[in-house]
Structure 1
């Protein structure tokens, strides 16, 4: 039944969804027009805000690229590939492959979003080489696991409000992760999605006669042979001692940072952890650089599109458009329903501002005073914004770019299935945020 429901969505997406870069251009025109017509800002001022906003997130853009690259390099280490290949031998049918790839992707995304994106798609390719299964649904299933990232260990919102001197600390103080990530309502959402999403993805699998199968030979990664070292320079490049030593040195630093200095998980520490683990497990500089060259292909979309999204974010914030959208939802809220409306407004804003940290900067000054005024639970409202951001990533092509690049697909190949996932997971998250106590 679900497969029949997904068909019209799939056909509609295949027909009308452009390339993600064209999508952001069309989105730019729409936001500029709405900001001009719906806010007091003049067209010239909107244009100036947009043009100057391109460079607001260069540091963050580099961090996102590094998260992706380091996540890919770690997932592409011999130890990780061996583990994924061993697990990929378990399924004996396409349905089992769909169930397994969803669970693996969700667990990896809960640990770290960049790691989850890469592990999910690499595991999907390993499964497609062993089991006959619709490749589109397999990749859509691997991407769907990404929905849990903001409720996991790398979630921008819960990590931000748990950090001393965060930008809203004077309003709400420090909220530790026991009240957000490990709160009962958040754990119940995670468990519910872990149960329902694999079953949903299995139900989306078309009959065998309608499946799109990719030949295993097209998915095999051609290993790049590193020639035997014949010069001093090549021997240094391939030295396992040199690579392993610098990797272990970095890991020792992180151990001191987390244990002795009581350091916290943040973007920089996560990047460092993945980088030094990658160097250690790849052992030599030559192996690491080979993996890096493959990883860079998947970051092209982030590099070219993130400046456009930074410009859109500037327009949304400085013209007051984002505040108006969020305030509109808040005006119809009370203490119990504020998390629900915060979730829905975050999902809408995420289409135009696909950055968890950036979106929190937009919505926190609005939802937090409202929560205080209405007497709503602050951690729950904050996590509602986090889940809204993660939820509509299912149909926001931006974060699918690295997955699609590695898989060799287009956005329109998976977005029809992602739409069905969006409706079902949205209902689950909304119900949990509304009726499960904090």
Structure 2
């Protein structure tokens, strides 16, 4: 039944969803028009907001590029490749492959969103090398696990409000993770998604004649491990000693970092990926060969992230994001405010696909409203977090690393993600409103 229901969505997306670069240009023009029509700004003022924000995500863009590159380099090592292949061997049918990749992606994303994106995509490729399965749905399943990230251990909004000195502390104080990440309602949503998302993905699996398969040979990117010594410098490029000296220095830093109480974040995940790759590739030459392959898929991140930063600049500086949030708040009650916070956050996320940036925009609207209505502030904060995570199933921004690793386009997976958007939206809404 879900396979038949998903087909029109897959067909619709395939026909009308443009390349993500075209999508971000259209979103940019829509934000321009909305800021002028609804906030009363002139064309030049809006363009200035856009230009001022255009480079505001440079650090984040580099972090995301490194998520892709370091994750690819680590996964291309013989050791990690062997692990992925052994786990992938647990699946012997297409249905088992879909369920397994979804479950692995959900676990990895709950631990850390960057980790989840890379592990899900690379594990999907390992499965595709061993099981003949509908490849677009396999990659969509790998990406679908990303939906739980903001309710997990690395959720930016719950971690921000649990940190001493956060920007809204004077309004709400410090709210520990026991009231957000580990609250019953949040754990119930996570548990429900861990059951429903793999099941929905499995039920969307088309028949064999309607499936699209990929030649395993195309995915077999086994690195060249041959050694050629023709000049003195080749000895350095193939030196295990150099690789191990710098690699174990990096691991020593990581060990001390966690001993000092450090937590998982994007920088430390990239650091771990990089220095594990340095050691496991064994020589600088093998690492650099892997790097050359990895950077081929990073073009979408390089060109598109600045445009999203520009959209964020327009949405925040013009007041458009706050107006969207205020509009939903105006029709809310204490009981329904988490639901409307969730919906408004989902809408804002299409234009501002950044959890931290979105909270900076929405918190000044949502928190006073929660206090005035007597609503639960931790629940409202998590509603914004879940709204941010939810419409990532529709917004191709976060799918770029996954698509780059898989060698697909956004239109190949977004039809399946659209079906998941509808089903998971109901589950999250019920959890935020009634649990």
Task: Name the TM tier (shorter chain).
Answer: over 0.9
- The change in CA–CA distance for 1:292 and 1:33 in structure 2 (over 3 A counts) is same
Q: Per-residue deviation at 1:222?
A: 4.2
Please give the alpha-carbon distance, in whole angstroms, between the structure 1 residues aligned to 2:147 and 2:311.
Answer: 23
- Cα deviation, 1:251-287, whole Å, max 9, x if unaligned, reads 3223333333x33443333333333333333333223
- Which residue is 2:220 aligned to? 220
What secondary structure does 1:398 align onto?
A: coil
Contact 1:360–1:385 (Cα < 8 Å) also in 2? yes
- Cα deviation, 1:317-346, whole Å, max 9, x if unaligned, reads 011000000111111222222211111111
What secondary structure does 1:129 align onto?
A: helix
Contact 1:159–1:265 (Cα < 8 Å) also in 2? no
The yes-or-no answer on 1:124 pairing with 2:121 is no
Output aligned runs, 1:402-413, within 5 Å. 402-413=401-412
What secondary structure does 2:298 align onto?
A: helix
Output aligned runs, 1:52-131, within 5 Å. 52-131=52-131
What secondary structure does 1:399 align onto?
A: coil
Contact 2:76–2:223 (Cα < 8 Å) also in 1? no
- Cα deviation, 1:90-117, whole Å, max 9, x if unaligned, reads 1121111111111111111122222211
- The change in CA–CA distance for 1:263 and 1:98 in structure 2 (over 3 A counts) is closer
- Which residue is 2:190 aligned to? 190
- The change in CA–CA distance for 1:374 and 1:241 in structure 2 (over 3 A counts) is farther
Output aligned runs, 1:30-429, within 5 Å. 30-260=30-260, 262-429=261-428
Please give the alpha-carbon distance, in whole angstroms, between the structure 2 residues aligned to 1:131 and 1:266.
Answer: 33
Contact 2:76–2:222 (Cα < 8 Å) also in 1? no
Q: Per-residue deviation at 1:152?
A: 1.8
Q: Per-residue deviation at 1:155?
A: 1.8
Q: Per-residue deviation at 1:226?
A: 4.4
- The change in CA–CA distance for 1:336 and 1:80 in structure 2 (over 3 A counts) is farther
Q: Per-residue deviation at 1:184?
A: 1.8
- Cα deviation, 1:76-135, whole Å, max 9, x if unaligned, reads 333322111001111121111111111111111122222211221221122122222111
- Which residue is 2:18 aligned to? 18
Which stretch has the larger CA shift, 114-123 or 289-298?
289-298
Contact 2:50–2:313 (Cα < 8 Å) also in 1? yes
Contact 1:75–1:115 (Cα < 8 Å) also in 2? no
- The change in CA–CA distance for 1:298 and 1:114 in structure 2 (over 3 A counts) is farther
Q: Per-residue deviation at 1:356?
A: 1.5
Contact 1:394–1:422 (Cα < 8 Å) also in 2? yes
Please give the alpha-carbon distance, in whole angstroms, between the structure 2 residues aligned to 1:85 and 1:302.
Answer: 28
Please give the alpha-carbon distance, in whole angstroms, between the structure 2 residues aligned to 1:267 and 1:305.
Answer: 19
Query: Which TM-score applies when normalising by structure 2?
Result: 0.95
What secondary structure does 1:397 align onto?
A: coil
What secondary structure does 1:167 align onto?
A: coil
Contact 1:179–1:379 (Cα < 8 Å) also in 2? yes
Contact 1:20–1:411 (Cα < 8 Å) also in 2? yes
Contact 1:71–1:114 (Cα < 8 Å) also in 2? no
Please give the alpha-carbon distance, in whole angstroms, between the structure 2 residues aligned to 1:109 and 1:419.
Answer: 19
What secondary structure does 2:397 align onto?
A: helix
Query: Which TM-score applies when normalising by structure 1?
Result: 0.94
Contact 1:72–1:115 (Cα < 8 Å) also in 2? no
Which stretch has the larger CA shift, 425-434 or 75-84?
75-84
Number of aligned positions between the proteins: 435
- The change in CA–CA distance for 1:33 and 1:116 in structure 2 (over 3 A counts) is same
- The change in CA–CA distance for 1:252 and 1:377 in structure 2 (over 3 A counts) is farther
Which stretch has the larger CA shift, 66-75 or 147-156?
66-75
- Cα deviation, 1:158-200, whole Å, max 9, x if unaligned, reads 2222233222223223223232222222221111111111110
Which stretch has the larger CA shift, 43-52 or 32-41?
43-52
Please give the alpha-carbon distance, in whole angstroms, between the structure 2 residues aligned to 1:85 and 1:112.
Answer: 22
Please give the alpha-carbon distance, in whole angstroms, between the structure 2 residues aligned to 1:191 and 1:435.
Answer: 15
**Alignment gaps of 5+ in structure 1:** none
Please give the alpha-carbon distance, in whole angstroms, between the structure 1 residues aligned to 2:131 and 2:396.
Answer: 27
- The change in CA–CA distance for 1:340 and 1:283 in structure 2 (over 3 A counts) is farther
Q: Per-residue deviation at 1:149?
A: 1.4
- The change in CA–CA distance for 1:165 and 1:285 in structure 2 (over 3 A counts) is farther
